[in-house]
Structure 1
């Protein structure tokens, strides 16, 4: 009886074929083009290439389809449908640049064709996304020159997209290229004369260039645009007021701010400066060039990217004339010290400003912000507490106390403050950040319902949409989460956002047990060059989860080559390589993981380490020896290969030895095994006085195959040849199945449940004989640590059955009790003990059938 050990569950490979669907869509779209084409029929090589292109497209081989389509187009450039096939093949292959070139070439022949123009617009829109994303990234890291280059490329591909022009404008402003920025703003105004954003930007640029009349004209023109919302009109007035104050025009600023209450947090500082200057209590100095920059916010919607402007937070720029305004002067010194990052001095000046004018909320807010910036959230919370207690607090102070409480670990208090701030009417430029913070803390504290309540009711951009998805996910509403993750992908502005949304969709599909869809999404994203913002090792885990071990292993390998493979990933990379039948690579990865455990670089328990070493032992095994001596009744012994003429109820003892070879290249394919072997069997003792010793020596040679990784089914073919005159020549086909639990040694547990079942069917052909065996053992294993951690005692109950059509009574059934003792040996640092010696003793009682079912059964064996 030969039993392979417990097998790790393998994965089922799932393939998703979408080529047929894509082909049908292409054919439908081309049918109209073909019908409208008056060209002569295809023939010759052009026809053959086109046919091959369609076939390749249908099976999803888009590169081959593009190559064949290009050949056909070269031969018949006058056929529109071939041009469209080439373009669609290049698009499906992810080759946008070549697709754009092919579209331009087609339009040179088929000018003003709507299908071609539509494809070109779509291709250029997709081409623009990459440089636009690069431009945003360059701005974030402060590389303004790279941002300008990337933005210009985006504008080149998408000249009608306002957000790309505004990206270029932002890059030029960051680079202080004001003249070029003014030109970009003018071009944007021509593109959309009804959009206030480029017009206000040009007014700001003119102000910075010292051309106050042109700046004022642009602000006035922006306010005169129809269809402005109340919020947009307010922001334009605030920005224009900043320009007026910077130019010393207090009366103009008063006029612009007049529609709004002086207690409005976004107005109070500005109107304070304007009133003080208009009343002669302070002066406004400046040539207009120190106007603060507006804040631009762009978000993607189903109708395209939409940008808006908000007036920035401002500090007082008025210089007091008399001592009554010393509080304003102290606040100004605090701002100056803050810009110099001298937060100690800034905090002291802010405290003076509060002491001089305790009724001014902006001074309190200034101190809170300085304390937060200086890393003193406890002080900031205390300052906010005093302002609230003294009745000086506004919405912004509640918001800032929320941030202070959050840093102090008071998440519940922070959320309460943010909700108050939103209810009291925060300035528009602060509402977004406060809402995002509130939603994030609600999700962190596992309060998804509160997170949903805190989201805006309309106009969700990427950041809000993806958070709503996570809230739905936390509530178990996975279909709604999946919907929002998809929306977030469409709304994403950067590659990081897009990739995060795709990753979340894949994970959600896996949670919904929709693994084929998750695999298809992953494969499509990889083919399209997406998910690159995710680290290779993390992306490899996604590949493993969806069942794409090929890509996962490539990613693990790439991470290792770049020195970015975390030690924790080495073992997982090893198992991935094993599933890809790359055993040498798997062994190398697993050994690296074992070393990482020894060095303390990863934290896995001893059982996980043992299982890893067991896998290395299995992968490195190329040969082995099994030898056993068994004692029991004729016909019930575990080796049914000897011709014994003794009565069935007599005892015999048999020796069996086997040596086997497992080819290194294909002998172990993720637990699916193939081995060739030679065996010798001999009868050592026969109670009935039959032949023993060399006369009974039976030779065997054969091969066995375990076709499944996750099922212990073994198929075997044997050639029996006589070595002693009591043996026989024959041919045997054999099938065996076993299921085992707890038969291996364990590293942590000192005792554990153990059981296994074994079934076998043997068919001899020259001397027709059918043999069947079944045995089940059920018990509990105990590690005998006082003697050796590698010594295991297994007391058990046994049930057994046998069938042999060569006996008068063919079947026999028994049950009994027994015990086994097994000693494991041969371990090294990298391999768990691969060999063992075992002694088993049982007594079985006949339940039915022949008497051979009862009696003593004993066996000692070595598996080396």
Structure 2
């Protein structure tokens, strides 16, 4: 949730009424008559703004003076003239008000509006009705209704609002010409917080054609704005809880109830943007600007959202337009320049970024930081990185291009907002700083600022929830404090879906899935939980080990989304499908091929001959079983597996022309180069059966043990090279004591051969790291990195037959039986870095990754005997 601060902008009459001001009867007609009027700017806007503020505060003389001055600058605006007329009337200067009406007529203003204003002024001058209604004449209906209305006023003053509403309705229906009784009826319902009933009463009253229709229309608009407050509050709470998808429907409801309230529209834009629904967020910004084409915050946010989608030209147009608004003060203009420069940098347009920053002091920290970023762009990126034809699937990630901060506050003329750069710090008070710190994941600072905000305003419910949210993101002790606060809040309001969801998330973070599951189910039972709550319930079920129940829940969520009942975001739907695939998989198979190009020779053993390996292709096939109700959960993985591996092709090796050490003399000798044939196919086949366990996916550590089987003949037989130089000398047919003397015999070789199925044991621990390995729906390509580090111990002890063979004539010199033993401590690591691409044109689920592989040769201590 970004922080929200003051943005002063021209106020249309509709926005003024939306703030709940006590509007004179003819103002709604004036609003309808001036829809096409040109907007106020500059000094005229300032004077008009002052006039409206004075009127709201009851300073009618000053309101009239400011309005008259504004009219001198903009005599064509009916709304300014209406403000002057009623400012004069409220002072009792009815004759001056009538002169102002005559002046407006002479200027060609709307006659119907002026006629209604004149009627109201003359009625007021004549004394009017006691409660401000039209000049009603005594009639039988009036005489019958008046005593009932009198009782209704008495009940209202006694705060007996239910009886007041009932009697006021009765009186008004008896005599609909008494519009003030309709207002009493509505006001009594409003005093009981029955806003829906009050709006229905206004509709009913208007259907009876009262004389004060304009008052009733204005009142109905005010009620709708009041009714919009609750869903707006729920939307803000959802954003505070870092659940923008849940905020969206509440924000839409607030806008539907009060479409003229700019802060609600900005709330909807922000909620959609944070929920990664960028096309809908842009549409919401379009609608906000259709309501008020000079809404600075909406225009700036639309520029940001367009840049996120790669619509660079349109984004630049929005930022250029917002910088042309001449009523912005120096600070607002500077902030918007920084925001526009951030967009240019995100597009790779260093030249535009420098141009935007040129009017600002280069020594300013924020300016200097952006100039440095512009200088760091690679050559050739001084133009937009992408064309405007780029699809929405290639959007910029919010982490790569953070949104502007919002700083909003209530004013006498409504809630107004100001945009600030994403890296702005220290502005907007402790609560705003807490929001900003939380957004950049600086949870320690967020907690400190939230605590300060609560200390300054301990009765503010929203700040208390903010503190709870920040504590929940802290360390174990701070999470405990958050849990106590949530327990206390839920003891007062046990059916608060948001609090239940928040506590469920906290339990999940503390690895208590059973408790989280209870809270998620309780939140759904209230009927007010977001669609994503079903997914949270599924993950909690998986956390308890009930993978099958989790799969059923995820499938139900997808079915409801298909039916239009559950509104999942594309990302939520993709995660649900992946979860179904993952948790329903109780067995599987993996087949892989690997290619190794020719590589340099490694270190020889015992001063032996160096051989350079050639090209080779390896194949591996693995099948595994993952029992659903044994050890497995959303954070634990246990597999039993079997694996076969083989060399499918071996290009052989090359013995290099080199010098080697003669084992008899210890002197170097020359070795001629030569080629060696490689072995591939069935003789190279190995197998293994094993089990592996990941106790916590959070730490990505896997422990495994397997029994290895040497199936192919080449894997269980081979030549033996003694470690002792004396033995190697004897096997060469010479005397170690007299190496230059006559040969003792022909050279001989030693070989071992084990039976099929002989093998050994392998124990290992693996740490994996992954980034961008999942399929993304918000971008068509993304950075990908994965790798592992593995350490372990291998031990082979095979019953074998050992033979000595004459290398000259192939005769068997000797044989025997024993055990061939080999043990090794090893460590290896590998990393794959590249970029993944969605191949939707081939298959919706296909992802292609291209990149580079970095690996080292396994190292360790090898001993054979």
TM-score normalised by the shorter chain: which range applies?
Answer: 0.3 to 0.5
Normalised TM-score (structure 2): 0.39
